[in-house]
Amino acid sequence: MKIGIVGVGHIGKTLARKLSAAGHDVKVANSRGPDTIEADVLAFGGRAVSAAEAVADVDVVILSIPMNRLPEVATLIANVPAETVVIDTSNYYPQRDGRIDAIEAGQVESLWVAEQLGRPIVKAWNAIGSDSFAKKGKPAGSPGRIAIPVAADSERDRKVGMALVEDTGLDAFDAGTLAESWRQQPGTPCYCTDITREEMAAALAAADAARSPKRRDLSFEAVMERMSGSGRTNPDAEYVVRLNRALFM
Ligand SMILES: NC(=O)c1ccc[n+]([C@@H]2O[C@H](COP(=O)([O-])OP(=O)(O)OC[C@H]3O[C@@H](n4cnc5c(N)ncnc54)[C@H](OP(=O)(O)O)[C@@H]3O)[C@@H](O)[C@H]2O)c1
């Protein structure tokens, strides 16, 4: 497929590498311009372009930028044809994104994103930590392969998202509609806990909407303390999974 990725940070970089390695025709962009994209993003193929070029003439757009910056790309996305599948990886962290009143009042994060962009989206790759994503992918059928939920209102779009998730070394789990996607938000049992396909249905069912934000904030504080002075912003997979399993499951 022809894929445009906007955002090549912790998650977007691995998306670019894995989807290129899987044979897709990938373009990538950040906010600062193609010259600033590091060579390892393009190690398996792909081209660095402007954000406007990244979303032009592609089958799929993947947005992998902080949630509070999504409104900045709304104008770009408005020009993308309706049949292009738009996938979003974002999560709401008020400590990073600032307070978003609608989400604080209970709006599902993916529905807020769809509203900002003025079009339907697929929610995918939001529920895997960046280090697990970079290091723990496996071929389909491997024992213990990590599963992640994929939500969308359109069956066609969800299928496209799920196929691409499989191409990045993960089992794709059909998590239903965007309205149900609060079950894969930060603080829920499936969120960055590296569970398998067999464990996913029970994890989604066990999600607790009232408690997830509190659990998300506890995890955020612990991660910030852990990273303090390290110069890094994301902890390693082993720490994230141990912490989140203890807090969220
Ligand atoms: N980190 C994780 O473990 C993780 C896991 C799952 C999901 N997520 C979610 O995925 C999203 C990305 O997270 P991340 O950790 O990969 O972020 P990150 O490391 O901070 O990278 C953000 C990327 O977005 C780009 N960007 C920001 N605003 C932009 C704009 N207006 N136009 C084009 N590019 C823009 C940045 O480009 P510049 O550097 O040029 O500004 C950068 O390449 C977030 O919503 C996050 O919550 C993260």
Is the pLDDT score of 231 beyond 90? no
Query: Which tens digit of pLDDT belongs to each residue from 139-169?
Result: 999 999 999 999 999 999 999 999 999 999 9
Give pLDDT, residue 249: 97
Q: 176, 177, 189: which is closest to 216 by C-alpha?
A: 189
Query: Which tens digit of pLDDT belongs to each residue from 166-219?
Result: 999 999 999 999 999 999 999 999 999 999 999 999 999 999 999 999 999 999
Residues with CB under 6 A from ligand 1: 6-12, 29-32, 51, 64-67, 69, 72-73, 89-91, 126, 128-130, 234
Q: How confident is the model at residue 24 (pLDDT cuts 50, 70, 90)?
A: very high
Q: What is the DSSP letter of 32?
A: S
Which of 5, 10, 184, 220 most suits a substitution to test ligand 1, by most atoms within 8 Å of the C-beta? 10
Given a contact cutoff of 8 angstroms between Cβ atoms, the answer to whether 123 and 181 are in contact is yes
Is the pLDDT score of 42 beyond 90? yes
Q: What is the mean pLDDT of residues 21-47?
A: 98
Mean pLDDT lowest among 66-70, 95-99, 233-237: 233-237
- Ligand 1 atom having least distance to the Cα of 93: 47
Name residues whose C-beta falls within 8 Å of residue 88's C-beta, 6 or more positions apart in sequence: 62, 63, 64, 70, 110, 113, 117, 121, 122, 123, 124, 126
Nearest 5°: phi and psi at 150? -130, 120
Which of 11, 18, 216 most suits a substitution to test ligand 1, by most atoms within 8 Å of the C-beta? 11
- In angstroms, the CA 165 to CA 109 distance is 20
Q: Tokens standing for 219?
A: 């995890």
Rg value, the chain, Cα: 17
